[in-house]
Amino acid sequence: MELGTIKSTVLQTMGWLSVVMGLISLAILNISLLSEYDLQIETRFSSLVVTSIIIGVISLVNKKSRSLGFWGLGISMFIIVFVFTIFGLSWTVAPFP
């Protein structure tokens, strides 16, 4: 019985970690856009988003951590869609720098 509670606690922690990592990466993206800092998408930012997605998918296993997993996945997917949309729109405005 205790193994089930430990598993539930670990999965809830992973869900919260996914949400926090998504919020941190969203904050990094917003700060880089507001300060006109050139954010390197290939660096730690993308690994933070991908890790948040992986942890969010793992936390979907348990019923108690499922809502946290959906929140983490939603934030991470929003970041990915936002980055590609902004890239596509900026490409149509000025295709060559």
pLDDT for the residue numbered 65: 86
What average pLDDT does range 7-29 have in this prediction? 90
- In angstroms, the first-to-last Cα distance of the chain is 61
What average pLDDT does range 37-55 have in this prediction? 81
| Residue 50 to residue 32: CA distance in whole angstroms | 19
Is the pLDDT at 96 greater than 80? The verdict is: no
Q: What is the DSSP code string of 17-84?
A: HHHHHHHHHHHHHHHHHHTT----TTTHHHHHHHHHHHHHHHHTSSSSSHHHHHHHHHHHHHHHHHHH
Sequence length of the chain is: 97
> What pTM was estimated for this model as a whole?
0.82
Q: pLDDT averaged over the chain?
A: 86
The 10s digit of each residue's pLDDT in 62-88 is 888 889 999 999 999 999 999 899 888
